[in-house]
Structure 1
Amino acid sequence: MRVFFTPDKHELIEHACSVRIRSAEVIKVFLHLEPVPFNQGFYAVDMNFFFDVCLDVFLPQSACPNVLHGVCLANKRVILFGSDGNVKTFVSGCSADPDVELTTGKVLPKAVCRVSEPIGLSAKICDRPPQGCDICSGIPDSISELYGAEFDYGCSHAIYATIGLFTIVQLVRDVPLLIPSYEFCIPEQECQPTSDSPREMFRRIEFPAEDFFPPKVSDISGDNGGSCEKR
């Protein structure tokens, strides 16, 4: 993904000879939900991810890097089953009306995206691609305000970052559940008093044997001694 910067970073990007990624952070995820035609109960979830990327930018004949922050964008679409909702729920003290499908009037589910801490994998400097090859108009004003200026798309060089991210996307609905309830009970027994002595408290703590003996290979990779591989 291309990293976009504010105009005050233009000179550094133009003269940079190498770049290294430090970290990445998810600023915001915008979600859009729409029904899938001819597939009742299925919905398409379009997600727009906005990342803050921290980079070390090196200039020629300079040993100390310049730390810069930029923004990159990523889009993803998933199709999930969210069932159909035929009733609307209204709650006192809540002004938000339920999202309703315009064509059928049915209540839409809620799309939820959970993200882990991003992993900055790599960064590189490339020549700027032809106009229109990058997402340059998709940064909203709410993101630009965090950086104090509009973003610059006119550099002859561009920085691209590779980011790893784990996500869980869900469609959520409110459904009634029947749970057995019981009458409240009054405690009939008193708690036994315990000593506030630090020595007595320490004696009740089990010896942390696992802290002194690190895990074996079989404990990490399984009893069969195999290795785990992530693709």
Structure 2
Amino acid sequence: MADINFEPRNCNSDEFKEAVCIDAARIYDSCGDKDCLSDLRVCFTDATQPIIDSAYSIKAQSVEVLDVLMDVEPVPFNKGFYSVDMTYFFLVQLEAYTSPVTAPRCVSGLATFCKKVILYGSEGSVKTFTNDQNIPQVPQPQRYLPRVVVQVAEPMLLSCELCECPCMNTMEGCLVVPANVSQRFEGSFECVLPQRVVQVTIGLFSIVQLEREVQMMIPIYDFCIPDKDVSGTVSQK
């Protein structure tokens, strides 16, 4: 049997092969922003709010973006433009000092922030069907809308403040929290009457994009085959 001389080709080859049509997500419009979210109120569950009520001091630890809810609507009388309403959910980690002689207690709270942008997303008037079993075969109206992509850098917890609740005897209403967010916390956010509240300042950098699936012609040079050997040894048992 003749030996086959297999030589991997460089991925950066300049030899043009052919042009092919692919499905790709084209970005029609995008925007980036740096926000300083000051005086955001942190909500606590019925399990952690008593710790905040009895604390005399708090210390900021970290903040994390748990989820971003997005709602896209066409802008009336301005074809191709869409308004994007976003709600950010932040997991805020704090240390609460309840006594000068005891160690601080770690407490997790939830802060929210709403933002709206208007971007160009082109016009779409087609229904897409596929034989993928994971995708419903019934066309959905939202398939006409462009897809929203939100990229969020790691936020910064700049400051936190513990203050008396201005509405101790009244309730502003129960906080509606998505299931995937509420499961990260112990207890429930419903019907919590705080005596003290926490306000934080968060630094946030985000990029919002509107994109649609389109067909594009791209040049093909060659298949990308690795030209490096695997380093290290393989142990045999």
TM-score, structure 1 as length reference: 0.70
Alpha-carbon distance between aligned partners in 2 of 1:164 and 1:143, rounded to the nearest angstrom: 21
Name the CA distance, whole Å, in 2 between partners of 1:19 and 1:119: 17
Tell me, yes or no, if structure 1 residue 128 matches structure 2 residue 165: yes
Aligned partner of residue 120 in structure 1, secondary structure: strand
* Secondary structure in structure 1 of the residue aligned to 2:53: helix
Q: Deviations over 1:133-183 (max 9, x none)?
A: 6x842323332222232126301110111111111101110111112447x
Structure 1 gap segments, 5+ residues each: 186-190, 197-231
The code of the aligned residue for 1:95 comes to: I
Task: Give the conservation status (yes or no) of the 8 Å contact 2:47–2:186.
Answer: no
Q: Which residue of 2 aligns with 1:79?
A: 118
TM-score, scaled relative to structure 2: 0.68
- Choose the corresponding residue for 1:176, options 187, 196, 215: 215
Query: CA 1:12/1:165 → structure 2, altered by over 3 Å: closer, same or farther?
Result: same
State the match for 1:20 in structure 2.
Answer: 59
Deviation at 1:15, TM superposition (A): 1.8
| 1:99 positional shift | 5.0
**Structure 1 counterpart of 2:156, which letter?**
I
Q: Distance in 2 between matches of 1:60 and 1:4?
A: 22
User: Per-residue deviation at 1:46?
Assistant: 0.8
1:100 aligns with 2:148: no
1:165 aligned counterpart, secondary structure: strand
Return structure 1 stretches of 4+ with deviation > 6 angstroms: none
- What is the CA-CA distance between 1:109 and the residue it aligns to? 0.4
Amino acid at match of 1:147: F
State the number of aligned residues. 183
CA distance in 2, matches of 1:114, 1:98: 28
The answer to whether structure 1 residue 119 and structure 2 residue 156 are counterparts is yes
Q: Is the 8 A contact 1:99 1:108 kept in 2?
A: no
Paired residue type of 1:88: K
CA separation of 1:10/1:178 partners in 2, compared to 1, >3 Å: closer, same or farther?
closer
**For residues 45 and 98 of structure 1, what CA distance do their matches in structure 2 show?**
22
Deviation at 1:28, TM superposition (A): 0.9
Partners of 1:85 and 1:155 lie apart in 2 by 48
| 1: CA distance, partners of 2:102 / 2:186 | 29
Looking at structure 2, the residues matched to 21 and 161 of structure 1 have their Cα atoms a distance apart, in angstroms, of 9
Report the equivalent of 2:104.
Answer: 65
Distance 1:10 1:137, change over 3 A: closer
Determine the C-alpha separation between the residues in 2 that align with 1:125 and 1:99.
Answer: 46
Larger relative CO (CA 8 A, sep 6+): 1 or 2? Answer: 2
Alignment match of 2:178 (pick from 140, 151, 158): 140
Q: For residues 147-226 of structure 1, what are the structure 2 equivalents within 5 Å? A: 147-151=185-189, 153-181=192-220
Q: For each residue in 1:5-59, what CA deviation from the matched residue of structure 2 results, as whole angstroms up to 9, or x when unmatched?
A: 1222233211211211110011111111111111111111111111111101122
Aligned counterparts of 2:120 and 2:171: Cα–Cα separation in 1: 34
The correspondence of residues 37-56 of structure 1 with structure 2, limited to 5 A, is: 37-56=76-95
| 8 Å CA contact 2:86, 2:114 repeated in 1 | yes
Q: Which has the higher helix share?
A: 1
* Worse-matched range after superposition: 17-26 or 63-72: 63-72
Q: CA deviation at 1:61?
A: 2.5
Q: Decide whether the 8 Å contact of 1:32 with 1:45 is kept in 2.
A: yes
Q: 1:2 aligned to 2:51?
A: no
